[in-house]
């Protein structure tokens, strides 16, 4: 089967579509149409030029790159230019880059913005291929959640474009079961649950032996410390405030919080903990995934926090699967799909979104929990991930659905 993957982001940026495309390429002819790598910091990666058309190969995947405006400082107008430029570049240069190529299927890797899939409609008819939309983030709902765009006209236009894309899609795949009902009610389309896989290459820590004293830590390591680690984007959606407020309630020096990642609110949070004189929350910055997993290894548990605005209670974040395969309990502050998932497989502790009091109680409860009960959480999560969330399993599910 010949498959075109349409995605704003691809290797060397760290997205799960890298591993999925590589897995699919073992049995199928895979081409990726993407932009120039600049995520998450908005700076063009080394050895790339903004205005060129590029062809390269990664794990037997052919990559075709079109020019885009970079994300820059992540201000709203930079992001809008970034999104729109990718769509326009694909529409203008895509037919040329894909000339003489034939495809059976097109897969849109639907991170925000989902409207990046619009060129897929053109390619669907140019190539007589089926168009498959894999929805990772609801759009334009996620645009509202982030708080970047509040203009009602822009949101309305995005809503119409999204409806247009849903209408022309032959199959819609979703990463949360709660997305299915939302899409059915709002767009009158059926959808199929295909969760985010874990990336074994990056996050599995089974065979890693590490001396914690060899890692950079902004505090003196003590194996009696409770180290709670968060990794991912740091923006409005993630509600890191709840961690900071829980820390203030706990006032426990032996409980340390490591926050990996970057995002629109990182400077705000750094200033907040400085003004509040909080000394056991550490913003580590953006680390490559292969280094983050070393800190996972020494962590007592992993944190996921989600705001409860808009469509976020319907969302099951992609990093859940990576947390599970890292063999660590999950401590979660969220409503809806994420909270229900963790309770269902009994792999951690949950508290309502934006509730630092209950989060603090859960952290304290966890710190006093015996190792047998912690190991049970780990086993439950690891078993579920291996049975349902491997790259090979998810790739096979995708192929079955789009055939």
pLDDT given for residue 23 in this prediction: 96
Bridge-based pairing state of the strands 226-231 and 281-285: unpaired
pLDDT given for residue 203 in this prediction: 62
Per-residue exposure over 254-288, b if at least 16 CB sit within 10 Å of its own CB, e if not: ebbbbbbbbbbbbeebeebbeeeeeebbbbbebbe
Average pLDDT, integer, range 298-312: 94
The more confident residue out of 200 and 141 is 141
Q: Which of 336, 359, 143, 142 is nearest to 230 (CA)?
A: 359
Q: Which of 83, 80, 86, 238 is nearest to 148 (CA)?
A: 80
pLDDT given for residue 298 in this prediction: 94
CA–centroid distance for 330 within its chain: 16
User: CA 245 to CA 241: how far, in whole Å?
Assistant: 6
The band of 310, judged by pLDDT with boundaries at 50, 70 and 90, is confident
Bridge-based pairing state of the strands 2-6 and 105-110: parallel
Average pLDDT, integer, range 78-83: 87
Confidence check: pLDDT of 315 > 90 = yes
Confidence check: pLDDT of 308 > 80 = yes
CATH, domain range 2-194: 3.40.50.2000
Sorted by sequence, the CB contacts under 8 Å of residue 231 that are 6+ apart come out as 260, 261, 292, 296, 302, 319
The band of 213, judged by pLDDT with boundaries at 50, 70 and 90, is confident
**pLDDT tens digits, one per residue of 323-371:** 999 999 999 999 999 999 999 999 999 999 999 999 999 999 999 999 9
Average pLDDT of the chain to the nearest whole number:
92
What percentage of the chain reaches a pLDDT higher than 70? 96
What percentage of the chain reaches a pLDDT higher than 90? 77
pLDDT given for residue 313 in this prediction: 94
Among the listed ranges 117-126, 149-158, 171-180, which one has the minimum average pLDDT value? 149-158
Confidence check: pLDDT of 74 > 70 = no
Q: Residue 385 in contact with residue 325, Cβ under 8 Å?
A: yes
Sorted by sequence, the CB contacts under 8 Å of residue 232 that are 6+ apart come out as 238, 260, 261, 317, 319
Confidence check: pLDDT of 149 > 90 = no
User: CA 85 to CA 304: how far, in whole Å?
Assistant: 32
SS (H, E, C) 318-362: CHHHHHHHCCCCEEEECCCHHHHHHHHHCCEEEECCCCHHHHHHH
Sign of the CA dihedral with 139 first, then 145, 148, and 150 last: positive
Confidence check: pLDDT of 139 > 90 = no
pLDDT given for residue 26 in this prediction: 97
Q: What is the pTM of this model?
A: 0.89
The band of 266, judged by pLDDT with boundaries at 50, 70 and 90, is very high
The more confident residue out of 313 and 153 is 313
Q: Residue 224 in contact with residue 285, Cβ under 8 Å?
A: no
Confidence check: pLDDT of 70 > 70 = yes
Average pLDDT, integer, range 303-314: 93
Among the listed ranges 24-38, 73-87, 174-188, which one has the minimum average pLDDT value? 73-87
Confidence check: pLDDT of 10 > 90 = yes
User: CA 14 to CA 89: how far, in whole Å?
Assistant: 22
| Correct CATH for 201-388 of 3.40.250.10, 3.40.50.2000, 3.30.830.10, 3.90.740.10 | 3.40.50.2000
Tokens 């859960």 belong to residue: 362
**pLDDT tens digits, one per residue of 15-46:** 999 999 999 999 999 999 999 999 888 899 99
Location of each CATH 3.40.50.2000 domain in the chain:
2-194, 201-388
* Residues present in the chain in total: 403
pLDDT given for residue 138 in this prediction: 87
Average pLDDT, integer, range 86-112: 96
Q: What is the DSSP letter of 263?
A: -
Beta bridge partners of 401: none
273 — phi, psi (to 5°)? Answer: -70, -30
pLDDT given for residue 195 in this prediction: 94
The band of 95, judged by pLDDT with boundaries at 50, 70 and 90, is very high
Q: Long-range contacts of range 123-130, CB-CB < 8 Å, 24 or more positions apart?
A: 123/4, 123/6, 123/94, 123/98, 124/168, 126/95, 126/98, 127/4, 127/98, 127/101, 127/102, 127/103, 129/4, 129/103, 129/104, 129/105, 130/104, 130/105, 130/106, 130/170, 130/171, 130/402
């Amino acid at each position: 089967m010949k498959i075109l993957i349409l995605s704003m982001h691809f290797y060397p940026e760290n997205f799960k579509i890298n591993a999925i495309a590589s897995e699919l390429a073992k049995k199928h002819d895979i081409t990726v149409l993407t932009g120039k790598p600049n995520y998450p910091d908005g700076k063009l990666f080394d050895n790339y030029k903004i205005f060129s058309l590029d062809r390269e190969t990664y794990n037997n995947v052919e990559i075709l790159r079109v020019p885009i405006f970079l994300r820059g400082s992540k201000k709203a107008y930079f992001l809008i230019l970034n999104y729109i430029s990718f769509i326009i570049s694909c529409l203008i240069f895509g037919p040329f880059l894909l000339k003489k190529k034939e495809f059976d299927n097109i897969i849109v890797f639907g991170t925000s913005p989902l409207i990046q899939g619009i060129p897929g409609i053109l390619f669907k008819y140019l190539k007589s291929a089926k168009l498959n939309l894999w929805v990772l983030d609801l759009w334009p709902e996620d645009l509202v959640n982030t708080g970047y765009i509040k203009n009602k006209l822009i949101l309305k236009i995005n809503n119409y474009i999204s409806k247009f894309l849903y209408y022309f899609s032959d199959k819609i795949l979703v990463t949360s079961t709660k997305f299915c009902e939302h899409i059915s009610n709002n767009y009158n389309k059926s959808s199929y649950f295909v969760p985010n896989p874990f990336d074994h290459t990056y996050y599995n820590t089974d065979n890693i032996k590490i001396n914690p004293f060899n890692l950079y830590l902004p505090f003196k390591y003590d194996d009696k410390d409770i180290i709670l680690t968060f990794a991912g984007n740091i923006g409005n959606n993630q509600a890191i405030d709840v961690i900071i407020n829980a820390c203030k309630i706990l006032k426990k020096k032996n409980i340390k919080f490591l926050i990996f990642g970057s995002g629109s609110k990182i400077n705000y949070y750094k200033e907040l903990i400085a003004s509040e004189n909080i000394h056991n929350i550490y913003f580590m910055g953006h680390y490559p995934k292969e280094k983050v997993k070393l800190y996972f290894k020494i962590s007592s548990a992993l944190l996921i926090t989600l705001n409860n605005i808009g469509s976020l209670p319907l969302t099951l974040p992609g990093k859940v699967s990576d947390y599970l395969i890292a063999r660590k309990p999950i401590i979660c502050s969220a409503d809806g799909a994420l909270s229900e998932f963790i309770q269902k497989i009994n792999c951690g502790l949950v508290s309502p979104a934006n509730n630092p009091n209950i989060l603090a109680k859960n952290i304290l409860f966890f710190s006093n929990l015996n190792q047998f009960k912690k190991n049970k959480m780990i086993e439950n999560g690891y078993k579920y991930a291996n049975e349902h969330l491997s790259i090979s399993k998810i790739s096979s599910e995708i192929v079955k659905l789009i055939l």
